[in-house]
Amino acid sequence: MPTLSDPIAVSIGPLEIRWYAVFIVTGILLAVALSSWIARQRGHDPDLLLDMAPWVVFGAIIGARLYYVILEWDRFSRDLGGALNFRSGGLTIHGAIIAGALIVIAYTRMRGESPWFWMDAIAPGLALGQAIGRWGNWANQEAFGTPTDLPWAVTIDPARRPAGYEEFATFHPTFLYESLFNLAFAAALCWVVLKGPQFAWFRNGMVLAIYLIGYGLIRLPLESIRTDSLYIGPWPAAYWLSFGLIAAGITVLAWRLGMGTAVDAVPDKGERA
């Protein structure tokens, strides 16, 4: 896999548009489009998601950056202005998931809708957005793994190689591994959210639970070969948050199986109680 030598996609005078931003924005747009389509297929008004999307996206970006800044506080405490510089990366998906979920819950409750359904509809779009957005890491030459000479290894410039790995040129493209997983995961989640209501055992919220468990599980092996992990105590921060996602997913799955859909404000046609 070749390296991307220039992280800047377009430069017009002082204006620079980076590949990182291009991939992130493309991922967001495709995520919203997919989730809107799912809502329409399930008989819900996709306009609600379009109204909600700017709030969710903005909140998720703030949450993603805030979580990263907290983990890197030793550096940003001496450079508060740098905490606001999004251009060179530094967004964490775990922070985005937490902040985005809280906004979805608040917004849908305010509109008298079921947060469970809308989080189910958003989950496949989120996985798709992650699949596209991860290529921003390629553009920035970050989020790669340990050295390897496999045919699909990514070449990293000497200045971007982590300490202790300066003599190695090619590394595991962990961003690619996660991107491919999320692409397949998005397709699987789409199938569940669209076909699920046909089954007696299905409840709104189960797709969200599957996403939380699945993404939490895949991040554990990927993080084990990352060379740029941020740490909380003896473990990478992503380990702690991934364990949290898995626990949250199992809790949601057990809760929804036990409670049915009685708490949903707007159940789907034919949805099982």
Residue 164 backbone class (left: φ over 0; alpha: ψ -120 to 50; beta: rest):
left
Report yes or no: 130 and 182 within 8 Å, Cβ to Cβ: yes
| Low-confidence winner among 20-29, 66-75, 151-160, 262-271 (lowest mean pLDDT) | 262-271
**What is the tens place of the pLDDT at every residue in 173-191?**
999 999 999 999 999 999 9
Cα-only R_g, the chain: 20
> 229: which DSSP letter?
-
Residue 272 has pLDDT above 60, yes or no: no
Do 101 and 119 form a contact (C-beta atoms < 8 A)? yes
Q: Where are the domains of the chain?
A: 18-145+187-259
Task: List phi, psi (to 5°) of 118.
Answer: -70, -35
Q: At what angle do helices 93-110 and 46-71 cross, to 10 degrees?
A: 140
User: Quick check: 269 pLDDT over 50?
Assistant: no
Closest CA to 241 of 223, 260, 226: 223
Burial of 117 (0-12, 13-18, 19+ CB in 10 A): buried
For residue 263, which phi and psi values (nearest 5 degrees)?
A: -85, -5
pLDDT of the residue at 95: 87
E strand residue ranges, 115-157: 154-155
Q: How far is CA 83 from CA 61, 71, 103, 149, 176, in A?
A: 13, 11, 22, 35, 27
pLDDT digits (tens, 9 = 90+) for 192-242: 999 999 998 899 999 999 999 999 999 999 999 998 887 888 888 889 989
> What pTM was computed for the model?
0.86
The model's pLDDT over 120-166, given as tens digits with 9 standing for 90+, comes to: 999 999 999 999 999 988 888 988 999 999 999 999 999 889 989 99
